[in-house]
Amino acid sequence: MAYRIIEEKCVGCGACAWACLFDVPKAKTADKSKYEIDAEKCCGCGHCEKICPNSAIEPRTDHRQIRKVTVNREKCIGCTVCMHICPEKAPFGERGKPFEIDQEKCTQCGACAMKCRHEAIDVEFI
């Protein structure tokens, strides 16, 4: 689900780092003239791609777009991690009980699924 920065196109403006809700793009060089994206940390939301003024960001070849994120009520223990990690506060519920995801708020970034330690969040890909 990750994106990558095309090094030849990156002008080091830092817009990707500013736009990323999860602090993934980092300066690749000491003078911050080039940035890179850690594929293991990238949730694939695409905020960086949309804001890049030089079109230097593209999905990796193994990128899959998320269609829908849902909670598996049988696995969810209501730990609240998803609620705290979500930039849109789409997951909701009561601690100790299975959560739900407000589909109107969800941007399908997948961060909640990446952080869920109980594998209780199902992600449907396009």
Residue ranges of the chain assigned to CATH 3.30.70.20: 3-59, 66-125
pLDDT at site 64: 81
The pairs formed by 99-103 with CB atoms below 8 angstroms and a separation of 24 or more are: 99/71, 100/71, 101/69, 101/70, 101/71, 103/68
Q: What is the pLDDT along the chain (126 residues), one digit of tens a residue?
A: 799 999 999 999 999 999 998 899 999 999 999 999 999 899 888 889 999 999 999 999 888 888 899 999 999 999 999 999 998 999 999 999 999 999 999 989 888 998 999 999 999 988
Q: pTM score, two decimals? A: 0.73
Single-letter code of the amino acid located at 106: C
Which SS3 state, helix, strand or coil, does residue 58 take? strand
Instruction: Give me Rg for the CA atoms of the chain.
Output: 16
Single-letter code of the amino acid located at 83: M
What is the separation of C-alpha 89 from the centre of its chain, rounded to a whole number of angstroms? 13
Which SS3 state, helix, strand or coil, does residue 47 take? helix
CB 50 within 8 A of CB 19: yes
pLDDT at site 65: 80
**Architecture of domain 3-59 in this structure:** 2-Layer Sandwich (3.30)
pLDDT at site 43: 87
pLDDT at site 93: 97
**Pick among 3.30.70.20, 3.40.430.10, 3.90.1010.10, 3.10.105.10: CATH of 66-125:** 3.30.70.20
